[in-house]
């Protein structure tokens, strides 16, 4: 019965679906089902997914009852169709090249990313009057006509400018190497334009998020509502960070030389790789990164995490910092209540000049390699090794004074050697006795062997033997003498 019901449910989908699809009353998913054309589906379906198949055409009137349609990753080359019910349409990763006609009066969002589009004409927006969100990333687009979008995502294209969009609030145009300017409107709240060719930008009053990293900006004036500023890898020489709304600021890899910040709401400030000489920061438990700078004069207040590595500093006064990174400086003495510290590769020599309550790293300093000195750093150090001594090397010497382990090992080795020598000697003795017994047995066998000359002749041999001449007198005499003897 269950098999029959499953068969009926698949039969309702249509003849075009002969592969495994997920089908419910209002939802169908035929991802990677091997389709070459869009099948007929039930009128109750409101969301359909036909992604990653081999569909080649999309024409005519299509699925008026479907509100969400995903045909991404197919082989569709022509977009010429009408749909009155569609609101969200994903046709990304198809070789479209151009959009001929699209009549979708209720369409609100469309994704045309990675379709090889070089242009979007006015007819496209005329057929989609309700469109508010457009995704066209990874296309060779050079221009987008004016429209009423609320969200524009056009990363990695070839745009030379931004169209006039009076209602837009989010613009993402990162990775456009020919984009030299952005026309900001009063409605814009988010701008992401990293890795472009911007030399300047005007910030409207409503903007709260700005990412202009990896551009050519040398001057920047902030608005009153900015919360997130990412302007790394530019040519900024100075900037006024005087907006109380700022929470996250990234100004790394610029040419700043003086920074003064008094922002109670600031949470993160990245100033790494700037030729900063003077630094003054007041924040509210913020993260401050000023590594690879040239800091000479500084003051910190309520900084929680501090990074001053690679600054050639000789002395530091940290205040109430919880975590501090001071690697690769010229520090000779250090005193801090920080929970964590990193003092590797400085010029610390005297343990008496190091006063800490937390734990951290102190390796890579010219410490004297004396166990009595280094053991004083043991409770605070997370290093495995200081100078040429590991921690265990120092503590091993203390253990040797009352440790019988070497003697026990030596005694066991001696007993084993004695046993081996005894076994070898017994073995050689057995072999030697066995060889001697074999020689003696051979000699006895040789002695006891009968001489063929002493054996008595057989009867037949005796008959064939020569007889003595008893008739002769001499023979008789000799015979008599033999018997007498």
First to last CA, the chain: 132
Confidence at residue 8, expressed as pLDDT on a 0 to 100 scale: 42
Confidence at residue 5, expressed as pLDDT on a 0 to 100 scale: 39
The one-character DSSP state at 454 is: G
Confidence at residue 425, expressed as pLDDT on a 0 to 100 scale: 87
- Which of 184, 257, 177, 270 lies closest to 221, judged by CA? 184
Cβ atoms of residues 218 and 198 within 8 Å? no
CA distance 224 to 244: 8
> Selecting from 1.50.10.10, 3.80.10.10, 3.30.450.20, 4.10.93.10, what CATH number does the domain 1-141 have?
3.80.10.10
CA 148 from chain centre, in angstroms, equals 42
Give the strand pairing for 389-390 and 385-386: antiparallel
Spatial neighbors of 317 by CB under 8 A, at least 6 apart, are none
CA distance 182 to 229: 16
Residues 235-253: b if buried by 16+ CB within 10 A, e if exposed: ebeebebebeebbbbbbbb
Give the strand pairing for 323-325 and 334-336: unpaired
Confidence at residue 183, expressed as pLDDT on a 0 to 100 scale: 87
386 vs 28, 362, 373, 390, CA distance in Å? 64, 8, 11, 6
Q: Where do the structural domains in the chain lie, given as residue ranges?
A: 1-141
Query: Is 290 exposed, middle or buried, given 0-12, 13-18 or 19+ CB atoms closer than 10 A?
Result: buried
Residue by residue, pLDDT tens for the chain (485 residues) are 333 333 344 444 454 454 568 988 899 999 999 999 988 888 899 999 999 999 998 877 678 899 999 999 999 998 888 888 999 999 999 999 888 778 899 999 999 999 999 988 878 888 999 999 999 999 999 999 889 999 999 999 999 999 899 999 999 999 999 999 998 999 999 999 999 999 999 999 999 999 999 999 999 999 999 999 999 999 999 999 999 999 999 999 999 999 999 998 999 999 999 999 999 999 989 999 999 999 999 998 899 999 999 999 999 988 889 999 999 999 999 999 999 999 999 999 999 899 999 999 999 999 888 877 777 888 888 887 777 666 667 765 544 445 667 778 888 999 999 999 989 988 888 888 887 777 676 666 666 665 555 566 777 777 777 666 555 556 556 666 665 55
Confidence at residue 437, expressed as pLDDT on a 0 to 100 scale: 74
Confidence at residue 473, expressed as pLDDT on a 0 to 100 scale: 58
């Amino acid at each position: 019965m269950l098999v029959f019901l499953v068969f009926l449910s698949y039969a309702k989908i249509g003849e075009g679906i002969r592969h495994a699809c997920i089908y419910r009353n209002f939802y169908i998913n035929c991802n990677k089902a091997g389709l070459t054309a869009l099948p007929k589906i039930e009128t109750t379906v409101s969301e359909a997914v036909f992604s990653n198949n081999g569909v080649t055409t999309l024409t005519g009137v299509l699925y008026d009852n479907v509100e969400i349609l995903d045909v991404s990753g197919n082989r569709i080359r022509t977009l010429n169709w009408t749909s009155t019910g569609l609101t969200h349409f994903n046709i990304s990763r198809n070789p479209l090249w151009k959009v001929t006609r699209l009549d979708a009066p209720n369409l609100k969002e469309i994704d045309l990313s990675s379709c090889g589009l070089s242009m979007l004409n006015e007819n496209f927006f005329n057929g989609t009057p309700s469109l508010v969100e457009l995704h066209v990333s990874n296309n060779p687009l050079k221009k987008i006509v004016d429209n009423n979008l609320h969200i524009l995502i056009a990363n990695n294209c070839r745009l030379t400018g931004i169209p006039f969009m009076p209602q837009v609030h989010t613009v993402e145009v990162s990775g456009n190497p020919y984009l030299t300017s952005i026309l900001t409107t009063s409605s814009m709240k988010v701008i992401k334009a990293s890795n472009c060719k911007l030399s300047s930008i005007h910030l409207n009053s409503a903007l709260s998020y700005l990412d202009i990293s990896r551009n050519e900006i040398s001057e920047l004036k902030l608005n009153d509502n900015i919360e997130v500023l990412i302007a790394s890898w530019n040519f900024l020489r100075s900037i006024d960070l005087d907006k109380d709304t700022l929470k996250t600021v990234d100004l790394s890899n610029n040419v700043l030389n003086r920074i003064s910040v008094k922002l109670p709401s600031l949470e993160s400030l990245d100033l790494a790789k700037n030729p900063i000489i003077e630094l003054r920061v007041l924040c509210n438990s913020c993260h401050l990164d000023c590594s690879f700078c040239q800091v000479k004069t500084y003051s910190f207040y309520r900084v929680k995490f501090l990074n001053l590595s690679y600054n050639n500093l000789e002395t530091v006064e940290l205040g109430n910092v919880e975590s501090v990174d001071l690697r690769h400086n010229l520090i000779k003495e250090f005193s801090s209540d920080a929970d964590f510290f990193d003092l590797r590769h400085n010029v610390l020599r005297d343990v008496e000049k190091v006063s800490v309550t937390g734990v951290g790293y102190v390796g890579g300093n010219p410490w004297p390699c004396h166990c009595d000195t280094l053991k004083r750093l043991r409770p605070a150090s997370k290093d495995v090794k200081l100078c040429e001594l590991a921690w265990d090397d120092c503590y091993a010497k203390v253990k040797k004074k009352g440790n019988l382990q070497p003697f026990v090992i030596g005694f066991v080795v001696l007993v084993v050697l004695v046993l081996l020598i005894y076994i070898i000697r017994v073995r050689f003795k057995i072999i030697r006795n066995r060889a001697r017994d074999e020689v003696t047995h051979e000699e006895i066998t040789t002695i006891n062997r009968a001489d063929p000359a002493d054996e008595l002749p057989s009867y037949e041999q005796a008959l064939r033997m020569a007889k003595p001449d008893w008739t002769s007198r001499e023979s008789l005499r000799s015979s008599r003498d033999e018997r007498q003897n």
